[in-house]
Amino acid sequence: MSTARRRGTLAAALLAAAALLLAGCSASAAGARPSRVAEQGPLSTQIGGRAGRSAPLPQPSPSPVRAALPGLGPKTLAEIPAGARQVVLASGDGRNSSTAKVTLYRYDDTAGWVPAAASWPAHNALRGWTADHRTGDLRSPIGVFALTDAGGRLADPGTRLTYDHAPMGFSVDGTGFHGESLSGAFDYVIAINYNRKPGMSPLDWTRPLGQSRGGGIWLHVDHGGPTQGCVSLPPSAMRTLLRTLAPADHPVVVMGDAADLAR
């Protein structure tokens, strides 16, 4: 079970809801502006992403066993921290595609990286992927990012990540790029540590590298269409991730289009 952070007062919830109006997770259709939260930004909290780092971090060399993660080339593998024992791999169908496949892997001391669940269909940003993410570019950032904090409109489903249950803060309405309803998109979210302060609620607005680099990039519930930068998955997949990811295993998400990840 996680340590629950509850925004118990109405004032706190209203402030969180206001943040949703300013950010941009879960894409809206042209001319339709839902209460938008997440998406966009670089990072000092980023582990191995290729965008927005003021100075390169030391990169551990992958062992032969770790090289078994399918579809990842040496450059991407080198960005995965040596201590990470859980990887959420989000592999996009193309550099300009808004569809992807997500697979959860765990590290076994004997077998190396093995799937921990079946793969799930997913959506990413409307215009695909970028190694230099900027606010409003409608592309998801490419890189390797830690997963430390979660939250949602619904109650904690049993995660070991820190979970912020904020029904008002995670409420969203309006429609997406294809006219689909955004209702329920933020029932469950996992913050991707891209231009954010780890250890805070996904609703926190701190952007270490500045607002121009975006922020609020999440894993969240799929609404049937592209996002503004997040990666969205079926509700059952989000519950599985929340119940499986463990801080002691230092989980990370490896995300990008398949061709870029293969480098």
Mean pLDDT of 162-170: 98
For residues 146 and 197, is the Cβ–Cβ distance under 8 A?
no
C-beta neighbour count of 173 within 10 angstroms: 12
Position 16 pLDDT exceeds 90 = no
Burial 106-126 (b: 16+ CB within 10 A, else e): bbeeeeebeebeeebebbbbb
Provide the mean pLDDT of the chain.
83
Model pLDDT for residues 142-154, shown as the tens digit of each residue: 999 999 999 999 9
- pLDDT higher than 70, residue 254: yes
Taking only Cα atoms into account, the Rg of the chain, rounded to an integer number of angstroms, comes to 17
Over residues 161-189, the mean pLDDT reads 97
Residue 247 or residue 65, greater confidence: 247
Q: Check: CB of residue 142 under 8 Å from CB of residue 130.
A: yes
Answer whether residue 204 shows pLDDT above 90: yes
Q: Is the pLDDT of residue 39 over 50?
A: no
Q: Decide if pLDDT at 89 tops 50.
A: yes
pTM: 0.80
- pLDDT the model gives residue 11: 41
- How many alpha carbons lie under 13 Å from residue 206 in its C-beta half-sphere? 14
CA nearest neighbour of 49 among 60, 41, 37, 61: 41
